[in-house]
Structure 1
Amino acid sequence: MSSQKIFKLNTGADIPAIGLGTWLSGKDDSGYTSVKEAINVGYRHIDTAFMYGNEEQIGRGVRDGLKENGLERKDIFVTTKLPPTYHRPEKVVEAFNSSFASLNIEYIDLYLMHWPVPLNPASGEKIPLRPDGSRDLDETMLGKFDVTWAAMEKLLDTGKVKAIGVSNFSIPNLEHLLKTSKVVPAVNQIELHPFNPQNKLLEYCSSKGIHCSAYSPLGTSNGNLCENSTITDIAAAHKILPAQVLISWGITRGSVLPKSVTPSRIKANFETIELSKEEIERINTLGSTHPKRFVSPNWGVPVFDEEFELASKN
């Protein structure tokens, strides 16, 4: 069945269960064509970011995709993100206005703080490194993402964005943010899949009314979950692809953002099944037998929950 499942955000808005991830999409106009294909298939959530460098393509794909399918702007949900080099309050507006202009889609449904780590603003959209290979942190803003958040809250007054949220936020960082925030994040976009089920973080976010959205739900080039025997066995039993099993499992926990520029895979990723309780429990065991986080940049400061746990023991 095609997935039209939705989740309700704390703003009252609906977020589709399956969205198209567009990280690394953009070469040879692939961002544009993949978005149009996704909308044609039935996707109603498109996820991008300033750092991806493809917002112009994504926006063009959204506009043309809506027009070709007889849809209106309200029929699509679009997410983009604030880059780490724009954490200073005065630069939040600059980054947002750049994304807003590049997308050119009337308004943005969801604007996320991409990472809770501020980087040297002189580097623009790049991820700056020091000569020794470490991240070039913006020391004046380190640990002050609550100030960045306050600047993001003001964006809501412009009417150009419907909701704001965060990405890659751990429980300690969310606790810090919520101490002073006037607006509770609508979404926390995180790496979430059977090898990294994020059970504690999901429970915490649920208790605060924060929806969790999963990136890399199929793994990455560092580890392809589609080759896991538990996943392939369940896929064979249903005569579907392993990716469809992973996405079907993912939407039992939150929204998911599989990415592809291949039309057949874009279509297949939108076709989900109802997994049995036993199948879900089998997949759930992978978090303890094969624990793995695939996206783990060395920021030089704790970001993920396990890093905070390790720091507290030392």
Structure 2
Amino acid sequence: MAANILTIPTTTLNNGVQMPAFGLGTFNIKGGEGVDVIKDAIDIGYRHFDTAFLYNNESELGEAINDKIANKVIKREDVFVVTKLWNTYHEPERVREGCDKSLTNLGLDYIDLYLMHFPVSFEYHGDDIPWPKSGPNNEPNAINDIDYLDTWKEMEKLVDSGIVKSIGVSNFNSEQVDRLCKEGRIKPVVNQVECSPIINQKRLNAFCTERDVLIIGYSPLGKKLISRPEIEEIAKKYDKTAAQIILRYLHELGVTPIPKTTHKKRLKENIDIFHFQLAQEDKEALDAMNTGERTVRLPNSIHAKHYPFNLEF
């Protein structure tokens, strides 16, 4: 059954904003194909789109959205656009600059949700150098250890200015989220983290839920994961795809999944997860797959003061 936007639930963020509880991740979706994929997604019923300055595809997302607005398929307020402040713009005086560049790339007047991509800060060596190197051995990355709280305070000003509706974080651990909740003027509305049956983030999710911070889950699917026999067996039981089982599992955990695909058939399948429920024994079988193993890490940054993945959660 094709997805219908009316069947896709929204979740209320801690500032009262409604966010679609399912989105499209766009990492590596670029060029003309990227524009077409996003247009297809809009036609299918997707309304939550996730990009980042680092992905170098904000312009593709903006082009697709503005085309659909011009053709009266959607209105601007119908779509929820998420992008991210990259590590080279953490210096307080560069935060607005980073946001303005994303707005220009997107061709939009405001961003629905602006995330700090990582708590780790890099030196700024130019807009086209996201992974700066430094030192006598030209070592990556050029880390300058700007305090993420100082960066956050500048992001709060973006909300005050109206060019950003909500702010949140990505790849933050529990201590870092707690610090922002306690010391920031505006509480983060989300923490976007890697989330799948392999790393289900239950402890971090519970921690964030206590603070009214929602988890958005990136990289929920993978070839090795969706081909695992135990997931395929569950999928047969429900007459669903393995991807649908995984995405439904995350939804039932209270996570907003943002899977990526460039295939129209899978775009339709992935979002069609709101008309069935998993039995308890199947959720427990998926729970049992959790190892906490990450596939996404910030390379060459483990010794940074604010590196987030040294804590258990």
**Is TM (by shorter chain) over 0.5?**
yes
Q: One-letter code of the match for 1:116?
A: P
**Post-superposition offset of 1:132:** 6.2
8 A contact 1:120–1:128 mirrored in 2: yes
**2:25 and 2:50 in contact (8 A); partners too:** yes
Specify the alignment match of 1:265 in structure 2: 266
- Cα distance per residue 1:156-185 (max 9 Å; x no partner): 111111100000000121223233200000
Q: 2:102 aligns with which of 80, 99, 102?
A: 99
Q: Which SS does the other structure have where 2:125 is aligned?
A: helix
Q: How does 1:240-279 map to 2 (within 5 A)?
A: 240-252=240-252, 253-272=254-273, 273-279=276-282
* Deviation of the 1:198 alpha carbon: 1.0
**Separation in structure 1 between the aligned mates of residue 228 and residue 141 of structure 2, nearest angstrom:** 34
The total of aligned residue pairs comes to: 300
138, 149, 156: which one pairs with 2:144? 138
2:26 to 12, 15, 22: 22
Preserved contact between residue 19 and residue 45 of structure 1 (Cα < 8 Å): yes
Cα distance in 2 for partners of 1:113, 1:67 equals 30
Which of 132, 135, 139 is matched with 1:128 structurally? 132
Which amino acid is the alignment partner of residue 265 of structure 2?
S
Structure 1 contact 196–291 (Cα < 8 Å) conserved: yes
> Which amino acid in structure 1 is aligned with residue 178 of structure 2?
E
**Residues 65/276 of structure 1: CA separation in 2 closer, same or farther (3 Å cut):** farther
Give me the CA root mean square deviation. 1.8
Q: Secondary structure at the match of 2:108?
A: coil
Report if aligned partners of 1:84, 1:118 keep a CA contact under 8 Å in 2: yes
Residue matched to 1:292 = 293
CA distance in 2, matches of 1:309, 1:19: 27
Letter in 1 for 2:22: I
1:187: how far off?
0.8
Q: 1:216 aligns with which of 214, 219, 236?
A: 219
SS at match of 2:261: coil
TM-score by length of 1: 0.90
1:45 lines up with 2:48 in the alignment: yes
The match for 1:281 is 284
- 1:291 shift after superposition: 3.8
> Partners in 2 of 1:236 and 1:68 — Cα distance?
40
Letter of the 2:101 partner, please give it: S
- Report Cα offsets for 1:251-281 as digits up to 9, x if no partner: 1122110011111111111111322222112
User: Match for 1:26: what amino acid?
Assistant: K
Q: Structure 1: which 5+ residue stretches go unaligned?
A: none
Give, in whole Å, the separation in 2 of the partners of 1:247 and 1:67: 32
Whether 2:31 is the aligned partner of 1:11: answer: no
CA distance in 2 between partners of 1:206 and 1:303 (Å): 22
TM-score by length of 2: 0.90
Instruction: Give the aligned partner of residue 172 of structure 2.
Output: 169
2:44 & 2:152 partners in 1: Cα distance?
35
For residue 81 of structure 1, give the secondary structure of its aligned residue in structure 2: strand
Structure 1 Cα separation of the partners of residues 307 and 176 of structure 2? 8
The one-letter amino acid paired with 1:137 is I
1:232 equivalent in structure 2: 232
C-alpha distance 230-132 of structure 1, shift in aligned 2 (>3 A): farther
Are the counterparts in 2 of residues 59 and 103 from structure 1 also a CA contact under 8 Å?
Answer: yes
Which of 179, 192, 202 is residue 189 of structure 1 equivalent to? Answer: 192
* AA partner of residue 264 (structure 1): K
Structure 2 Cα separation of the partners of residues 42 and 183 of structure 1 = 31
- Mapped to 2, the partners of 1:50 and 1:57 lie a distance apart of 12
User: Match of 1:56?
Assistant: 59
Percent of residue pairs bearing the same amino acid type? 34
Whether the aligned pair in 2 keeps the contact of 1:23 and 1:259 (CA below 8 Å) is: yes
Give the SS at the match of 1:286.
coil
Alpha-carbon spacing, 1:282–1:66, altered in 2? closer, same or farther (3 Å): farther
**Structure 2 stretches of 5 or more lacking a match?**
none
The answer as to whether partners of 1:212 and 1:254 remain within 8 angstroms in 2 is yes
Please tell me whether the aligned partners of residues 168 and 303 of structure 1 are also in contact (alpha carbons under 8 angstroms): no
CA contact (8 A) 1:168 1:304 kept: yes
